Amino acid sequence: MKRLHNKINKEELKQRMLESNVERTTLSFYKYAQIKDVEKFRNELYRALDAVEVYGRIYVSEEGINGQISVPTKNLEEFKTRLYAVEFLDQVRLNIAIDDDGKSFYLLKIKIRGKIVADGLNDKTFDVTNRGVHLDAKGFNELTDDPNTIVIDMRNHYETEVGHFENAVLPDADTFREALPKVEKMLEDDKNKNIVMYCTGGIRCEKASAYYKHKGFQNVFQLDGGIIEYARQVDQLGLENKFIGKNFVFDDRMGERISEDIIANCHQCGKSCDTHINCANDACHILFIQCDECAEKFQNCCSEKCTDFIQLPLEEQMRKKTTETFNGTKFGKGRYKAHNQNHEL
């Protein structure tokens, strides 16, 4: 069966979205489940969601589904009907975005992957269904007040840089795959303490909690629904908010504000700032934090070199981009900090 996909130029689609006044709702969902015919499932899902104008990025594999999408608000109920019609997705929790302008996605992509989250684990070596105890926002607040509790952030360094829970352990990892062994080593002397993990929407902790229980940790807990659901419950129930700053999200918004605290700094001048941006030089495209003043000065680029490069004629850019070295080819996401590099590149 021919795989369905969008055929319109992505820049045109992005411009349409920016100019659109259609109210949209951004949400995410995931479910671990056994999918036998992944290709067939993928194409049927694409048809069902495309018909109600869903945009976003969905990964499907033999182990389940992981999606971050936006839906026209007027189509939200029809979307739920179509999603819930899939047996293993019936009544699956939808994590509704907190700080949403409806401009999170501009086309629908459904990709087949080996895993719905790249974790590097051999699932056959442990029971992936033996997961940690799920905590709602109230339970999370209560347990994290216990001095015998350690809170672990299972996200990447560029996510934790702009926001995290009070007193959380931040492993400073580039990927989830890297975080798993790093956290295990950090906690090797604390296997009898309460280990409370959290991530953006909960999916990373589903696998991580089972892995750590397999590794001998006795009291493993996870924040159900992640930061997104926590923020919703805190607001709805009037609970104390223990999350500081912004929740990084993997769409064009790049963040949801959970508290008014700004705990990060511009990577170019050091000013207090937590706005992520991708370098405007597509040959670089590195993810970094940039304040408004530096955005104007460097034309949304990460360095003087990239600013100069985007001024070149397009043909010259195309010729040089395969031989030139930029921050995006030298540093990982969010690792480059211009004020520490003296604009050497």
Please give the residue that has the higher pLDDT: either 127 or 54. Answer: 54
Question: In this model, does residue 57 exceed pLDDT 80?
Answer: yes
Catalytic annotation on 199?
A: yes
Token pair of 338, please? Answer: 């211009």
Select from 275, 283, 293, 28 the least CA-distant residue to 158.
275
Give the helix, strand, coil percentages of the chain, each rounded to 5. 35, 20, 45
Give domain 123-237's CATH architecture.
3-Layer(aba) Sandwich (3.40)
Give the active site residue among 199, 273, 291, 306. 199
Average pLDDT over residues 247-263: 94
E-assigned strands of 1-137? 24-32, 55-61, 64-72, 95-96, 108-112, 133-135
pLDDT tens per residue, range 183-234 = 999 999 999 999 999 999 999 999 999 999 999 998 999 999 999 999 999 9
Q: Which residue has the higher pLDDT, 129 or 132?
A: 132
pLDDT tens profile 17-30: 676 788 999 999 99
Domain limits of the chain? Answer: 10-112, 123-237, 276-341
pLDDT-derived band at 342, boundaries 50, 70, 90: very low
**Residues 87-110: tens digit of each pLDDT:** 999 999 999 998 888 888 989 999
The model carries a pTM of 0.87
The residue among 263 and 341 whose pLDDT is bigger is 263
Q: At residue 285, does pLDDT exceed 90?
A: yes
Alpha-carbon span 160 to 153, nearest angstrom: 8
Q: CA 205 to CA 269: how far, in whole Å? A: 35
- The CATH code for residues 10-112 is 3.30.70.100
